A and B are shown apart, each in its own frame.
Chain A
Amino acid sequence: MTLPFPSEAWAKAFADAINQNEAYRTHGKPWTFGDVAMIVYKEPAAGIPEEAGMVLDVHEGQCRGVQYVVGEGEAHAAFEIIAPYAVWKEVIEGRLDPIAAMMQGKLDLRKGHLPTMIRFVESSRALVKSAAAVPTQFPS
């Protein structure tokens, strides 16, 4: 069964996938810097009528919970990463490296401490690889 992205069901499956990812457990172990939000811009043409965000309560290599929020500015986290739906699709499908995407301005760190984000580059990659494990249905 595939899960629509973005959605509450997808966010929960993503949290489960993170907790099953050995690489994330290792690289994310020192992470104690707060929640990370993955936010998708509002894009009605792509079937996303409002800004949507997944706020991941990640701590010491584990995802302790996830919150799916809808509405502009509703996703509050220590680190907020925002991008258009098409960019998230490329990242989730493993066709775009999240750090390269940030360097190109495709992914925007809207809020958060950049040196910490760079320090945890392998952790970020592992997080994104977890997303690839979720059977995803992207809106056409």
Chain B
Amino acid sequence: MSAVELAPGAEKNAFASMMATLIRQNLDDHPSRDKAIKAAKGRASIEVTDLGIDVTFVFDRERVVVYDGVRGIPDVRLRAPAEVVMATSNMEPGPFGLPDPRGETNRKVWEALREGRLEIVGALRSPLLFAALGRLLAVR
């Protein structure tokens, strides 16, 4: 199984530690999600706009390292308030692994996207990286 690491110094950012734990426990529960790490290379950041905390995930096809703050120039950026960030992990899957349009959480996420509270940059340019982030953080 691929390694999930917390970068040196990142333990001071509780959100970074939380993300590393979430990925590790998700991989324990769903070993097939390891393929997402093997397919992804690049940097993805999550910026929690209302709390002023950011993390960067660096994927190199063998491991994912979680850093405190935005490191380098991320290929994929997700910016949203805490409530929306957590909702993106909680989206209800539908047929073919796509989000279920009837899902209550999914509707909240679409609404946040439409209202500009959720910004996603780079998903089309780096689809594998974006998909990996989604797979590894999804709790359903």
Contacts and interface: CB of A to CB of B under 8 A. Distances in A.
Interface string B87-110: 101100000000000000000000
Closest 5 CB pairs of A and B: A105-B14, A115-B139, A100-B82, A119-B139, A103-B15
Interface stretch (B17-25, B34-42, B72-80): B17-25
Interface of B: 13-15, 17-18, 21-22, 25-26, 29, 48, 50-51, 53, 82-83, 85-87, 89-90, 139-140
A118 interface: yes
Q: Mostly helix, strand, loop or mixed at chain B's interface?
A: helix
Interface of A: 97, 99-100, 102-106, 108, 113-116, 118-119, 121
B106 to A, nearest CB: 14
A118 B90 contact: yes
Contacts of B50: 100
Q: Mostly helix, strand, loop or mixed at chain A's interface?
A: helix
27 contacts: A97-B83, A99-B82, A99-B83, A99-B86, A100-B82, A102-B18, A103-B48, A103-B53, A103-B85, A104-B53, A105-B13, A105-B14, A105-B15, A105-B17, A106-B14, A108-B14, A113-B25, A114-B22, A114-B25, A115-B22, A115-B29, A115-B139, A116-B139, A118-B22, A118-B89, A119-B90, A119-B139
A121 B22 contact: no
B15 A104 contact: yes
Nearest to A106: B14
Given A105-B17, A115-B22, A121-B90, 20 more contacts: A97-B83, A99-B86, A103-B14, A103-B15, A103-B53, A103-B85, A103-B86, A104-B14, A104-B53, A113-B25, A114-B18, A114-B21, A114-B22, A114-B25, A115-B25, A115-B26, A115-B139, A118-B86, A118-B90, A121-B86
